[in-house]
Structures are given as structure tokens and as C-alpha cells.
Amino acid sequence: MTEYFPDVKKIAFEGADSKNPLAFKHYNADEVVMGKTMKDHLRFAVCYWHTFKGLGSDPFGGPTILREYNNAGDEMAVAEATMDAAFEFFTKLGVGYWCFHDRDIAPEADNLAETNKRLDKIVAKAKQLQADTGMKLLWGTTNAFSHRRFMAGAGTNPSAAVFAYAASQIKKAIEVTHELGGEGYVFWGGREGYDTLLNTDMKRELDHLAKLLQMAVDHKKKIGFTGQFLIEPKPKEPTTHQYDFDANTCLAFLRANGLDKDFKMNIEANHATLAMHTFQHELQVSVDNGVLGSVDANRGDMLLGWDTDQFPTNIYDTTLAMYTILNAGGLTTGGGLNFDAKLRRQSIEPNDLFHGHIGGMDAFARGLKIAAKMIEDGRFAAAVKERYATWDSGIGADIEAGRVGFEELEKYTLKNGEPEIKSGRQEMLENILNEYIR
Ligand code: XUL
Ligand code: CO
């Protein structure tokens, strides 16, 4: 069988002093942190679309990256060779999970029936490779945004026939995800949004989106798929106004339509920053509402206003993300850290794929170790507890318990006078954070 990454052996953990670029410096799969192995905490996944289908094209130019598996023959031969290359990569990297869109793994044919047949053929191959390697599917999803029929959206398309097409595609994608034992299924809004209200009935579009999601929930139950449904918020790009703007917007939509028990969030770092939030903010909103499902681990570029999908390397970001995730009890079934990240278009060597993923895995492993120490030492938790201490007894406890109203609070204020105020100590806390990040 062709080897696509012949000069790479299985990537090993060599420790922080190693100078080998093809080795982990911090990610040590079996090392135990706060009672769990790194592997079980981090649940890394490789995404199929950027990693194997992304070839460096951008709005100003075509592909720059050449891959040997793309020379395998006709479209289906290429799809099969790509799958072989993917499983070789997963195994050598040492991740446990992968994620895909239906159209990443099998090319679309002239009609849906033929397209589905092609998908079944490649899914059978993926199932065999999963059995051979022990790899698992974190989540599947559908690409209902690239084809021209979806130019005005899928579930929110002004055409009912396009809605029906999208529904048929999603039905099949959920079924193949189930067939591959997927732990989750993601709904990223693709082109669900609008560019101008001059041609858009927003209320009607959102009602249709809710109908589509309800049908997905019904079908999931019908076929016995027990994986987690996930919504992936994103505020803009490709449309000017994406309906799934951020975690709070998604929650309001799900609650308004009685869907909130059936979906959790898949939080992507670069989508959070496009929404003018931090990655940690979006994670915390999800945790506070009991809907943190999974994570698309990447980063944006501070100087660019679009979704650059870079590999995560910022230790502050990974530390704060892991702090929130660990405090919430960690990622469980249906959740993982999926590298929805792509190489820069000048990174044209096959090994660059390893460098990107090794860097991301090491950055999160460091984040995990640092966050665990921060939690074990308890200094931040103690500072927050102290800051809210007036709510633990007296008038604060009365307010929280609903024992008092405006009249009692007026009486309290007239009696006690000007409240004592305290420093938020942000600088001190940031300095303490720097004691851990080193
Ligand atoms: C797009 C994006 C998608 C989803 C899956 O910005 O993040 O790749 O993760 O459709
Ligand atoms: Co994503």
C-alpha cells in the first residue's frame, strides 16, 4: 500500500527539552492530570476538510499545495486514496478521533441517489479503517453550503425545494454518522443567514430553520442515533448576518423553538473572536447554561477580520480555555478538541500537516497542565469567592433566596448608608496567571 507520509514514524513524546520538531514536548497521552490521562482530557480530533481537502486556495489564487493522493485516478479513486492517507496520518499522529463533512469524503455525483451511493462506498471503507486502527468518529456533518443550489442557504433558503434537498442530505449524513459510531453530529449554519433585508423574510427563514432541526431530532430518534447534536455558532462569513451569531443567540433560538434539550454547543475559537468575544467567554456561556458539547480548536489572526482557522499556539488562550473546561468537569462523550485549522498556503510540505497538529496538541497539553495547577492551588477560585462574599450571608443571602423586595432593600440602604467597595485586583490576578504560564 502507498505510504503518503513515508519519512514520518509515529510521533513520540520526548519532553520539553527535545529539539525534534516531529515529537511532542508536552502532550504525553498516558500522563495523568487531575485523575485522568491527557488523552482522555483532550480527546483530540483531526478534521478531514482542511487537513486533507484544503490545498491552500484563497480568494486571490488557486491551490498551492500538491498531495500525492490527488493523483490516484478518477474522483472515486482519489476519494479512496485520500481516506488511506487520512488514516495513515491519524495513526502516525496518535489522535483518537476524526471529523468530516459528507462531501469531504465522497464527491457529489449528478443526482442525490448516485451521490448517496458514492458516500456509502466510502463510508464502508472508513468503517473498515476505523476497525483496523481503533480510530473513532467524534462527529459528522453535512456540507450544505458549497454547492450553488445552497447560495441562499439550506434550511433558510427562500425555496422550499432547496430546503427539501438540504433535509435529504442531512438525513443521509446523520445516518452515515450513526453507521460509523459517531459520538456527535454538528450543525454549522453554513449559509444560514442573510446579506440584505431587502430580499429576506427573516422571521420565516428562522421558523424554517427550527422546523429543519426538529425534523433532524425526530429522525435521530427514529433511527436510534444516540450521539450528541451540536450547533456551532459563527457571527459572520459567509453571510453578513449569520443566524447562529454566538452561543447566547443560539440558546435563545433553541429555547424559543423548544429545541434546547436536544442540542449543545460546538464552540470554535476563531468564531468566538469574530463575534467580538474571547474563546473563554463562549466556553463559559456554554458551561453556565449546561450546553458545552465540543470545541473546534483553532485561532484567528488579531490583524485580520475573517476566519483564518490557524492552528492554536497561544498558551494564554489554551490555558484559559482548559481552565473553564476543567472547572466544568471536562469534556465527555460527544465532545473533543477538533483541529478545525488549516495550513498557511505557503506551507506546502506534507510534514507541515504534522507540525500544525503537533503544535496544537502541545499547546493544549500545556494549557491543560497549567489550568490543572491553577485549579489545584485554588487561588483564582478563592479570589472570586471572596469577591462575592456579601452574597453568602445577610442581605445578599436574603436577595438570592427571594426573601426580600424593594422595600426591604430600601430600608437596608437607609440604615447602612454608603456601601463599602473593593478592588477588582485585575492586575494582581493577571500577574498570578503569569506565575503559572512559564
Ligand atoms: C466553518 C466551520 C465549519 C464547521 C463544520 O467556519 O467552522 O468547518 O466546523 O461545518
Ligand atoms: Co468549525
Q: Is 282 in the pocket of ligand 1 (CB under 6 A)?
A: no
CA of 362 to the centre of ligand 1 (A): 23
The active-site residue, picked from 101, 178, 208, 357, is 101
Mutation choice for ligand 1 from 52, 103, 177, 234, CB with most ligand atoms inside 8 A: 234
Mean pLDDT, residues 221-238: 98
Tell whether ligand 1 has an atom less than 6 A from the beta carbon of residue 340: yes
Helix (H, G, I), strand (E, B) or coil at 27: coil
Q: How much is the average pLDDT of 32-51?
A: 98
Which residue's CA is the nearest one to ligand 1's atom 10? Answer: 188
**CA of residue 268 to ligand 2 center, whole Å:** 6
Ligand 1 binding pocket includes 186 (Cβ within 6 Å): yes
- Separation of 377 CA from ligand 2 center, angstroms? 33
Which residues does 111 contact at the CB level (< 8 Å), separation at least 6?
Answer: none
The ligand 1 atom nearest the CA atom of 234: 6
d(CA 151, CA 29): 43
Q: What percent of the chain has pLDDT over 70?
A: 100
What's the predicted TM-score (pTM) here? 0.98
Which DSSP letter does residue 207 get? H
Q: What is the pLDDT of residue 376?
A: 98
- CA 232 to ligand 2 center in whole angstroms: 7
- Indicate if ligand 1 lies below 6 Å from the C-beta of 232: yes
Task: Output the pLDDT for position 344.
Answer: 98
E-strand stretches of 67-199: 97-101, 136-141, 184-188, 193-194
Per residue in 116-156, pLDDT (tens digit) is 999 999 999 999 999 999 999 999 999 999 999 999 999 99
Residue 438 — very low, low, confident or very high, per pLDDT cuts 50/70/90?
confident
From 26, 50, 102, 104, the catalytic residue: 104
| pLDDT confidence of residue 154 | 98
Taking the alpha carbons at both ends of the chain, their separation in whole angstroms is: 44
Q: Please, what is the average pLDDT of the chain?
A: 98
Nearest CA to ligand 1 atom 7: 340
Active-site annotation holds for 104: yes
Reported as a single tens digit per residue, the pLDDT across 166-220 is 999 999 999 999 999 999 999 999 999 999 999 999 999 999 999 999 999 999 9
* Ligand 1 midpoint to CA 88 (Å): 23
Distance 247 CA to ligand 2 centre (A): 14
C-alpha cell at 187: 450543525
Q: Is 104 a pocket residue for ligand 1 (Cβ < 6 Å)?
A: no
**What is the Cα–Cα distance from 184 to 216, expressed in whole angstroms?**
13
For residue 245, is pLDDT > 90? yes
For ligand 1, whether the C-beta of 192 sits within 6 Å is no
Question: What confidence tier does 34 reach under pLDDT thresholds 50, 70, 90?
Answer: very high
Q: What is the pLDDT of residues 260-314, one digit of tens each?
A: 999 999 999 999 999 999 999 999 999 999 999 999 999 999 999 899 999 999 9
For ligand 1, whether the C-beta of 268 sits within 6 Å is yes
Note the residue count of the chain.
438
* Residues 435, 315: Cα–Cα separation, whole Å: 13
List of residues 6+ apart from 165 with CB closer than 8 A: 112, 149, 154
Residue closest to 42 by CA, chosen among 363, 315, 280: 363
User: Catalytic annotation on 262?
Assistant: no
Average pLDDT over residues 246-251: 98
Percent of all residues in the chain with a pLDDT value above 90, rounded to a whole number: 99
Q: How far is Cα of residue 215 from the mean position of the Cα atoms in its chain?
A: 23
| Ligand 1 pocket residue status of 342, Cβ below 6 Å | no
Question: What is the pLDDT confidence band of residue 1, given thresholds at 50, 70 and 90?
Answer: confident
Neighbour tally for 160: CB within 10 Å: 9
CB 237 within 8 A of CB 306: yes
Is the pLDDT reported for residue 24 higher than 90? yes
